[in-house]
Chain A
Amino acid sequence: MPDPNAPPLLQVSDLAIEFASPERTIRAVDGISFSLASGSTLAVVGESGSGKSVTALSLARLLPSPPARVRSGKIVFDGTDLLTLPEAALRHYRGGRIAYVFQEPSTSLNPVFSVAFQLSEAMALHRRDLTDRRAAGVAALSEVGIRDPERCWKSYPHELSGGMQQRVMIAMALVCRPQLLVADEPTTALDVTIQAQILNLLREIRSRFGMAILLITHNFGLVKGFADHVVVMFRGKIVEQGPTDSLLASPRHPYTQALIACVPRLGESKKRLTTIDYDKLDALLSPA
């Protein structure tokens, strides 16, 4: 376990992000704060449009601006405020210290280049120390559980299955030995058995390389047994956060309770799946 007194690797405070259009301005993220210690895992859970992906993308300033605009707040990573960093300096962080794994592996890899090219490119940028990129790349591919890494190294993205592509993306992230891995719904596009494998893989590499993971998901089912802490987002705000076990055992916020109730369980004989009744929720949330 990491030292509890050490300063957190990532400290987000009072972050607010707006999307401006001529008609109106939408506040996608509204004053959120959370922190993440090195070597630990934080899951950000919420429904579509709750601002979780915007939060994830804002960490490396990936949001297109305009229309996105950071209204207020700080994102301090390892003692540096990423929001005030010039673009050129930020590039050193992207990939090198903060790596991303996206939802859709099939479009995350450039279709016209081989795995070898794309992995080498990442290494050329952030791992100048590696002299034998091929060996390092093949090693990374085998670390992410690809059975025939030599062949995969020479493959083009369309020759790989979705699970393999996602493993290649993780290998690309891993090969630069980042301190933080942001996984934005890494399993959503994959089928259930592959989901479990990818999560196991992420768990394994976290303990092996000691990197922190920020997992963005809408699925409470993934959180249990994977994340140390959970942040629940709803309409751009954090409604509840805390250690995973206690939060799952006794959710306090009505939205968290509703969200947890929505996760179907095997063996449960229900005619209809539970959904969130937003009218009821709004009535509960509005100060009477």
Chain B
Amino acid sequence: MNPVLTKRSGLWQQVIARPQGALALGLLGFLYLCALFAPLLAPYGPGDQDLQKPYHPPTGFTWTQDGLAVRLYENADPTQALYRPIPGKTATIHWFPAGHPYRLFGLLPCRRHLFGVEPPQKIYLLGSDSTGRDVFSRLLYGAQVSLSIGLIGISISLGVGLIAGGLAGYFGGWFDSLVMRTTELLMAIPGLYLLLALRGAFASQFGSGEVYLLIVVILSFLGWSGAARVIRGLTLSLRAQTFVEAAIVTGLSPWRILWRHLLPNLASYLLVAAALSIPGYILGEAALSFLGIGIQEPSASWGLMLAQAQEMKVFMCNFWWLLSPGAAVFVTVAAFNLLGDTLRDVIDPHFRTSDR
């Protein structure tokens, strides 16, 4: 089997020792920290509009005697959203100014933000959208949804897959047939149709928190079958190993054998599978939100933000900053795939894809 997992602490050290592993972990760490501290890092709330400043471009920086400042813009042609910097007019950036109140981690009441400018001036690091909302702030709040949905989704689907596949593989018989036929049924239906049908089956008047849960459940419902099939196969092959027989003759109960002897042997697979399937959930959420049946306004998610970027006006006027959620999705998915590949390299040298 794999001796690597027997030294658990060594696993992450080995991942970090590889450049691609360190890069992936670094990126993911950065992204998740951003999501965690989104209210602190974001100068504005996800729904804060400024109808005077739709499609504002990213603000330019300049130095003044007061320190770092942003240029101020005027809307030369409101129909075209043609912004021009006003020469000589700037707004100094304040560090940790008081802004709208929020609760950090949902607990600590707080008013401070990392940076900001004196209202009514605005700082738009990544421009603004059609109603003058700060894209940078929305990107951070959207990360909370988009990044957590992958983790929660994979926990549910791997959990269900582990229980269903593990029991099917260990006990066999009618339960095995039932689980396997169910997964085949699920896999035979094209994913996107099932997704749309499931979403359509539930009323659309849910609050944003309920919609979030609903999406997670729908995505996990689609995702567990693949995991269950692989886990069943692995359990079957482990079941045939003598150490399972040895555990039975030691007098262990089937549950203890499954939990304490088979599960740790599956851990390496589960870890790699999790890292490689999380992007599917992130993309799934993005696709649902893009189609308008995922996260609803005024909440933010990367897919929802991308949906807004498909307006004709955005294309015509080349508001490139509205595509920044796409870049965020790309970086996240690439980082998870890189992490998954590196983990697999470390855990299972037979499938090594790189020289190291």
Q: Please list the residues of chain A having a beta carbon within 8 angstroms of any beta carbon in chain B.
A: 60, 62, 66, 91-96, 98-100, 102-104, 107-114, 121-122, 125-126, 156, 158, 169, 172
Contacts and interface: CB of A to CB of B under 8 A. Distances in A.
B326 to A, nearest CB: 41
A229 to B, nearest CB: 23
A113 B243 CA distance: 11
A247 B243 CA distance: 35
B5 interface: yes
Contacts of B249: 60, 62, 94-95, 98-100
A95 B250 contact: yes
Given A102-B246, A104-B242, A110-B265, A94 B3 contact: no
Contacts of B271: none
A76 B68 CA distance: 90
29 contacts: A66-B173, A91-B251, A92-B251, A94-B249, A94-B250, A98-B249, A99-B249, A100-B249, A102-B246, A107-B241, A107-B242, A108-B245, A108-B246, A109-B243, A110-B243, A110-B247, A110-B265, A111-B265, A112-B5, A112-B6, A112-B264, A112-B265, A112-B267, A113-B264, A121-B250, A122-B250, A125-B250, A158-B3, A169-B246
Interface of B is mostly: helix
A108 B252 contact: no
A213 to B, nearest CB: 15
B252 A125 contact: yes
Interface string B259-275: 01100110100000000
B264 A96 contact: no
Given A111-B265, A112-B6, A172 B250 contact: yes
Contact of B1 (A95, A104, A111, A126): A111
B246 A94 contact: no
Contacts of A156: 3, 6
B258 to A, nearest CB: 13
Contacts of B267: 112
Nearest to B267: A112
A114 B248 CA distance: 18
Interface string B80-117: 00000000000000000000000000000000000000
A107 B238 CA distance: 10
B153 to A, nearest CB: 27
Contacts of B6: 111-114, 156, 158
Interface of B: 1-3, 5-6, 173, 241-243, 245-253, 260-261, 264-265, 267
A102 B242 contact: yes
Contacts of A94: 248-251
Contacts of B245: 62, 100, 102, 108
A125 B248 CA distance: 12
Contacts of A110: 243, 246-247, 261, 264-265
A158 B1 CA distance: 9
Contact of B246 (A91, A109, A114, A125): A109
Contacts of A62: 245, 248-249
Contacts of B242: 102-104, 107-108
Nearest to B248: A62
B105 to A, nearest CB: 35
Nearest to B6: A156
Nearest to B261: A110
Contacts of B251: 91-96, 125-126
A6 B1 CA distance: 47
Contact of A91 (B5, B243, B253, B260): B253
Contacts of B173: 66
Top 8 closest pairs, chain A to chain B, by CB: A95-B251, A111-B1, A94-B251, A95-B250, A100-B249, A107-B242, A108-B242, A91-B251
A114 B6 CA distance: 8
A19 to B, nearest CB: 15
Nearest to A126: B251
B47 to A, nearest CB: 49
B107 to A, nearest CB: 38
Contacts of B241: 107
Contacts of A60: 249
A65 B2 CA distance: 31
Contacts of B261: 110, 113
Nearest to B240: A107
A107 B3 contact: no
Nearest to B5: A112
B246 A121 contact: no
A142 to B, nearest CB: 21
Contacts of A93: 251
Contact of A111 (B2, B246, B250, B253): B2
A108 B243 contact: yes
A60 B248 CA distance: 9
B264 A100 contact: no
Contacts of A98: 249
Nearest to A64: B172
